[in-house]
Structure 1
Amino acid sequence: MKKIFIYFWSLWEFIFAKLNRIHTVGGHDSEIRIAIKKYKGEKLLLKDGTVLNNGDKFGELHLNNKVLTEITSSSSSPIAVGIIALKRFKKSIKALKTYIDEHHEFDDVNVFMGYTLFNEGVEMLGFEVRDIKSPLEKFIVTHYEMLLLAIFHPDGFKRLRDNKFTSKMVLITKNTINSRY
């Protein structure tokens, strides 16, 4: 039953990615996918001085759920999974740098952001982590991502009982990517 659900969810993600122009960065087994969107919200000032204003373009980051399944099932130790994930994401950010350098539609994109349950330790990669301001949006995103984790993680809903998850906004600037990677 779970395999059928994963199949249909993966099909939905494929269609969603096509409709929203989400592109895989660095090959089909990359952890990161990206789309260009227009920011709608209050002005954001990032640590390096980069500003994201309402109406500015930004890179919307998406995680590849199949790859995340591989990472989370690679070990029963959360610390080992975290180390593996950080190494793989570091490699993916290098691929992101190459991708944005080669695709000129990113020339005027200075901020890359996404929402994730997996936000611990990403500061080591140059990301800033912020709370999702809207309580409704935070609730929806957190529960949506918890559902995905239950679907794709080998332990399913058991995984959710062990931890208290909260989605966060993660952001990284083009300046940070260029200086670190």
Structure 2
Amino acid sequence: MRSYLLSFWNILDPLYYLFTRLEYLDRHSGIFRVRLTKYKGKEVLLSDGTLIKKNDKLVKIHLHNVKLLSELKGVPCSVRRGRIIFQKVLISMPLIAEYINGHKEKNEIKGVIGITMLYKGAEKIGFEIFQPCHPLYKLFKRISQTPLYLLSAEQPKISKIPDTYYLFISKEKLQQTYNKTKLNK
């Protein structure tokens, strides 16, 4: 059943990509697709002093779920799958820094945002985790991410659906940690 759903999702993914105005960072090695967005949530103060306010420009990251689930299809252990996801995200972080460096609005971009159920380990990569405040938005995100949970969990249970969280990293912290020119020196 999962393989049928994944095949169906593979068919729908190009339409999703088209309508969400996403851009690939790297079609081969990157696991993120991104787009520029204006933040609409409550103010968030990051640990480095960056204040994210309503209408600030952020790069919104989207895991390329179909690609990720296809690559994880034969991996039986959830711990192993978690490690693979962690490594793929880690490899993709310099691509986000590069994307911002080359963006025409790079001076206005304050950071990166994602919303996910897969937040464990995100702090090790440099993200800060916050729970969305608006109850309807939290419900909407939980419902919209439930199919991903059901497809990816070893033994999914409706009663165990995890909450969704915002992941933030400031542009400065991203650049300090993942800028390729610094990494290559």
Q: TM-score, normalised by structure 1?
A: 0.84
Match of 1:178 in 2: 175
Larger mean Cα displacement after TM superposition, 70-79 or 32-41? 70-79
Amino acid at match of 1:39: Y
Aligned length: 178
- Residues 123-168 of structure 1: per-residue CA shift (max 9 Å, x gap): 0000001112112211221121111332x4385xx43459441111
Distance apart, 1:99 and its partner CA: 1.8
Distance apart, 1:173 and its partner CA: 1.1
Distance apart, 1:15 and its partner CA: 2.4
Match of 2:183 in 1: none
Query: Among residues 145, 164, 167, which one is paired with 2:164 in the alignment?
Result: 167
Q: Give 3-state SS (helix, strand or coil) of 2:48's partner.
A: coil
State the alpha-carbon separation in 1 of the partners of residues 76 and 28 from structure 2: 25
Quick one: structure 1 residues 7 and 116, their matched pair in 2 at CA, closer, same or farther if it must change by over 3 Å? same
State the alpha-carbon separation in 2 of the partners of residues 93 and 59 from structure 1: 12
Match of 1:81 in 2: 81
Distance apart, 1:3 and its partner CA: 5.2
Mapping 1:31-110, distance limit 5 Å: 31-70=31-70, 72-110=72-110
Gaps of 5+ in 1: none
CA contact (8 A) 2:146 2:161 kept: no
Quick one: structure 1 residues 54 and 161, their matched pair in 2 at CA, closer, same or farther if it must change by over 3 Å? closer
State the alpha-carbon separation in 2 of the partners of residues 74 and 122 from structure 1: 24
CA contact (8 A) 1:127 1:172 kept: yes
Amino acid at match of 2:165: K
State the alpha-carbon separation in 1 of the partners of residues 123 and 164 from structure 2: 15
Q: Give 3-state SS (helix, strand or coil) of 1:159's partner.
A: coil
Quick one: structure 1 residues 148 and 112, their matched pair in 2 at CA, closer, same or farther if it must change by over 3 Å? same
* 1:130 and 2:130 are equivalent in the alignment: yes
Q: Give 3-state SS (helix, strand or coil) of 2:105's partner.
A: helix
Distance apart, 1:169 and its partner CA: 0.9
Q: Give 3-state SS (helix, strand or coil) of 2:169's partner.
A: strand
CA contact (8 A) 2:130 2:166 kept: yes
State the alpha-carbon separation in 2 of the partners of residues 81 and 111 from structure 1: 27
Identity value in percent: 24
CA contact (8 A) 1:33 1:62 kept: yes
